[in-house]
Amino acid sequence: MPEPTYKEHASEDAGGQADAFDWSEVEYCQVGAGRYDGHVSHLGLGGLSLRREWQNRDIHKRGAAAGDFCTLSFFEERVDCWCNGRRYELPFSPVFFLPAGGEIDIYVKGGTTLGYVVLDQPVLRRRAQILEPALPPWRKGDMSVMSDDSRPLIGLMATVRERRRLGVRTDWAALAARFTDILATGMAGSSRVQAPLPSSFAAKHQVLRRARNYISDCLDQEICPSIVDVCRKAGVSQRTLQYCFVELMQMTPMAFLRILRLNRARSELGRPNASGVSVTEVATRHAFWHLGNFARDFRLHFGETPSEVLARGRRRAGCA
């Protein structure tokens, strides 16, 4: 196998951290208020990569895995986690399985570390079928729980970091095969990746998905939808919409819309090509009509002003 590659990526905003994940198309939305600090490390081992992510604020990640790559992810700390609208409270951190093309929809608490193993799904399936020839097809779509206990993966990841830190000579091909076989064993023995969602939960999640997709599509077109528009598109009453958001996302639909608009405005202000825009222009484009309120809400949520973010983006572009 080729020599391992190692990269690190530090970010001052959630959108910049999302850019480090080239294997998925995902939008990061900072939910927790305050200045953002994030870090991603990536060790490439041929067709398998190990990634580790940390951020100091609560974030919501939503998108889809690209190509033929599947992902197994886990929290290194014991945390109550939220995935696809479901809350998991387990003795040990679960291992989540995201199939190729599957939907990413997860709420991550600030101050927690999330590990990822990304690999080619056909390779993993072939290894799993050696152990279980009658392995049913893996259900496409949602992220699901493969295992209740991520300790084997956490331990192996820690070994990799320590060997790399000490410069110990390592058979990286054998290590990659070890990761693949641990995952194949788990997939062969797990029925959860085929288990459908309970019908009552699936119905609520579908309402949530329709509403958020519509909100996102509107914002892509620089349109700020009203609660009437969102209810119409989701096909439910305001009370039902409110209930679905609060139960599955711990926030109201309008709070979600506001936080998403703030995050998109921040991402635009902080882009390296932000030299040709102004705070007023960006605020207006994201439907913040009162500039004083925008600046106040922005500072309260991100711990810095829109002008500071814009200035940083211009410095990155070398046009301060």
Convert the pLDDT of each residue in 212-262 to its tens digit.
999 999 999 999 999 999 999 999 999 999 999 998 888 999 999 999 999
Domain ranges for the chain, please list them.
Answer: 5-194, 199-316
CATH of 5-194, picked from 1.10.4160, 2.40.50, 2.60.120, 2.60.40, is 2.60.120
Tell me the Cα Rg of the chain: 21
Tell me the C-alpha distance between 183 and 138, whole Å: 14
What the block records as the tokens of 312 is: 């940083």
What the block records as the tokens of 264 is: 């998109």
Question: Is the full-model pTM beyond 0.75?
Answer: yes
- 21-25, 161-165, 168-172, 194-198: segment of lowest average pLDDT: 194-198
Q: 199-316: what fold?
A: Arc Repressor Mutant, subunit A (1.10.10)
Q: Which residues of 143-179 are buried (b: 16+ CB within 10 A; e: fewer)?
A: bbbbbeebebbbebbeebeeeeeeeeeeebeebbbeb
Closest to 128 measured CA to CA, from 88, 171, 97, 84: 97
Convert the pLDDT of each residue in 254-290 to its tens digit.
999 999 999 999 999 988 665 578 999 999 999 999 9
Q: What pLDDT does 89 receive? A: 66
Statement: residue 198 has pLDDT above 60 = no
Q: Do domains 5-194 and 199-316 have the same CATH topology?
A: no
Convert the pLDDT of each residue in 111-130 to its tens digit.
989 999 999 989 998 998 99
Q: What is the 3-state secondary structure (H, E, C) of 138-202?
A: CCCCECEEEECCCHHHHHHHHHHHHHHHHCCCCCHHHHHHHHHHHHHHHHHHCCHHHCCCCHHHH
Convert the pLDDT of each residue in 15-34 to its tens digit.
888 888 776 788 999 999 99
State what percent of residues in the chain have pLDDT above 70.
90
Q: How high does pLDDT run on average in the chain?
A: 86
What is the pLDDT confidence band of residue 295, given thresholds at 50, 70 and 90? Answer: very high
What is the pLDDT confidence band of residue 1, given thresholds at 50, 70 and 90? Answer: low
Tell me the C-alpha distance between 153 and 116, whole Å: 9
Could you tell me how many residues make up the chain?
A: 320
Tell me the C-alpha distance between 201 and 86, whole Å: 8
